[in-house]
Amino acid sequence: MSGVPGERAVVCVNGGQAADVPGTWSASLEWLVRRLAASFPELVFGEVKYRIKSWKRLDMCTDDAFAAIDRLDAPQTLLLGFSMGGAVAIKAARHPSVSEVVGLAPWIPDRLDLSPLDGRKLAVYHGSLDRSLPGIPGVNPRSSRAGYERAKERGIDATYTVIPGALHGIAVRSLGGRTVPLPRARSWARYIASALESWSRG
């Protein structure tokens, strides 16, 4: 890699919920990117802000992801999808600039078509303690593992990593707007830094 800024872009894709609510910035992705960007000055980071962040509107969310990819206009793009953003990133992987999808506790429902990943790489990272609890969203690691296994069956170059002791999120936002790391947040950062280093040298 020449390290020319803009040649490779990392597009961060946020999670969502059932209700139709306006998109917001992700505390988990914001915390993560603030720690990664300084180590990868050759990469451009951007984040998708959905018009509506609902898993009932995946096609609309995917269109928003396409718009973000096009706006950065990099020859090579990696999609970093958190929670519902994993499904959106997989759907958006058919964009010609996308070469890899990295899922952070990704939601990969059984009905999701994985064909956009054909010819691309998939790396899944999931916290061992991730669960859906009353009033607290989550994705069971067994779900993403099933998605990973479906990808492998298609012949997709995929890897799966469990982060011991990690929860669903990486960070939360305080009432004052500050991002506060959750347990094992730094483990997430180390794993994703390793994934980005491998991709940026590919």
Q: Are 103 and 89 in contact (CB under 8 A)?
A: yes
pLDDT confidence of residue 96? 98
Task: Quote the number of domains for the chain.
Answer: 1
What does the pLDDT look like over 49-90, one tens digit per residue? 898 887 688 899 999 999 999 999 999 999 999 999 999 999
Residue-number span of the structural domain to which 191 is assigned:
8-197
Region 133-138 average pLDDT: 72
Residue 31 lies in a domain: yes
Residue 1 lies in a domain: no
Residue 2 lies in a domain: no
Residue 42 maps to which CATH number? 3.40.50.1820
Residue 71 lies in a domain: yes
Residue 43 lies in a domain: yes
pLDDT confidence of residue 2? 31
What does the pLDDT look like over 7-25, one tens digit per residue? 999 999 998 777 667 778 8
Residue 3 lies in a domain: no
Residue 202 lies in a domain: no
What does the pLDDT look like over 143-166, one tens digit per residue? 999 999 999 999 999 999 999 999
